[in-house]
Amino acid sequence: MNRLLAVLRKEFRQVRRDPLSLGLLVFVPAVLLVLYGYALSFDVKGIRTAVLDLDRTQASRALLDGLFQNPYFTRVLDFARVDDADALLARGTVQVAIIIPEGFAGTVARGGRAEVQALIDGSDSTTASTAIAYLDALAQRKTLSMRTRLLERAGMTATLPIVTPEPRIWFNPELRSAQFLVPGLIGMLLMLSAVVATSLSIVREKEQQTIEQLKVSPLRPMELILGKTIPYVIICVATTALILLLGYVLFGVVVVGSFLLLALATVIFLTAALGMGVLISSITDSQQVAYQLATLTSLLPSLLLSGFVFPIRNMPPPIQAITYLIAPRYFVSALRKIILKGAPMTELWPDLLPLILLALLFNLLAARSVRKVV
């Protein structure tokens, strides 16, 4: 116990003397949360739209009023000729061009099929898909309302469709992407900062020629690992609290579930991440190599293979198999369940159990590698 406390005191002094490492663990994740939180967004609003109304009737104006009475489309200009639409889309001046043909109102009055052309810039697939979905929904609403008016004008009783969907959205009623992204950002940033910070711990001893003192000391490998990781666990838990506070203040992300379960999931995840960092530190001989390896094995998998941005179910089967070894995959899933859904422990076991197994695996490998060093 005394040996462990001695390593703990030494590591805390090292962190205090190295403001760069402390900043990496505390302030850099907070700054990155702000940057990523505002830069990454799946919300599509204010789609720049140009209009060519060749009909110029009350019916065509009513259609356009229905299109622009929402935050999704913004009418930026009207153009005069059909050929102008290609140039506007090619220059990126607009993302959607709406063309209402002549005779639109007459076709609607006769109950015929009124075609409205929508030219959409497909270079941004997300915006294009969203624009198509919004336009389809608008067309269905307008078709229903116009059909109802025509039937009433003819003296017939207007009937509603037999099946009408009534969506009720749980957990994120406003469909704000920040609610989905912030838990993923927490997992990615903690993985990056924890692995990078601890990956420099033992290799620093090698570069400073103090590893020989550890070799002749009665320290056991597990005591060295605990002494090197416990300070960073404490600092990373404080960083998590800071990130959650910023997420609430800046993005309105509220923790619906239990803070105790959130703390438990965070500690298990940090144990796995820090064990991975110690493993990297013990098998490398310079801080530069350790930093590069830690960044490569933490940042890219956390961003691409954790389900943070890209759904795992859409990946090819071989890539899905690799994700089972990525700790952020389980941590991000657990965070979203706790923060957004308020999930109890019974629903978190499919995420926490693999995290525990990965934590044991990384720390056992780290202990074996450290034993060869000291």
> Residue ranges per domain, the chain?
2-40+176-373, 47-153
Pairing of strands 117-120, 73-78: unpaired
Of 12-16, 64-68, 87-91, 340-344, the poorest mean pLDDT is in 12-16
Q: Using CA atoms, how far apart are residues 67 and 74, in angstroms rounded to an integer?
A: 9
When pLDDT is averaged across residues 60-64 and rounded to a whole number, the result is: 85
Tens of pLDDT along 164-213? 666 677 777 776 777 888 888 888 888 888 888 888 877 877 777 666 56
118 bridge partner residues = 98
Of 13-17, 117-121, 344-348, the poorest mean pLDDT is in 13-17
Tens of pLDDT along 211-257? 656 655 666 767 777 777 888 888 888 888 888 888 888 888 888 88
The topology (CATH level 3) of 47-153 is abc type-2 transporter like fold (3.40.1710)
Tens of pLDDT along 75-117? 999 998 888 888 898 888 899 999 998 988 888 777 677 788 8
Q: What pLDDT band is residue 328 in, cutting at 50, 70 and 90?
A: very high
Q: Using CA atoms, how far apart are residues 14 and 166, in angstroms rounded to an integer?
A: 59
Torsion of CA 21, 27, 30, 36, to 10 degrees: -70
Largest CA-CA distance found in the chain, in angstroms, rounded: 100
What confidence score (pLDDT) does residue 327 get?
A: 93
Q: DSSP alpha helices (H): ranges in 69-111?
A: 84-91, 104-109
| pLDDT at 161 > cutoff 60 | no
- Average confidence score pLDDT of the chain: 82
Structure tokens at 323: 């994700």
Say which amino acid occupies 53: D
20 contacts 67 by C-beta, under 8 angstroms: no
Q: Using CA atoms, how far apart are residues 261 and 246, in angstroms rounded to an integer?
A: 20
| pLDDT at 349 > cutoff 90 | yes
Q: What pLDDT band is residue 69 in, cutting at 50, 70 and 90?
A: confident
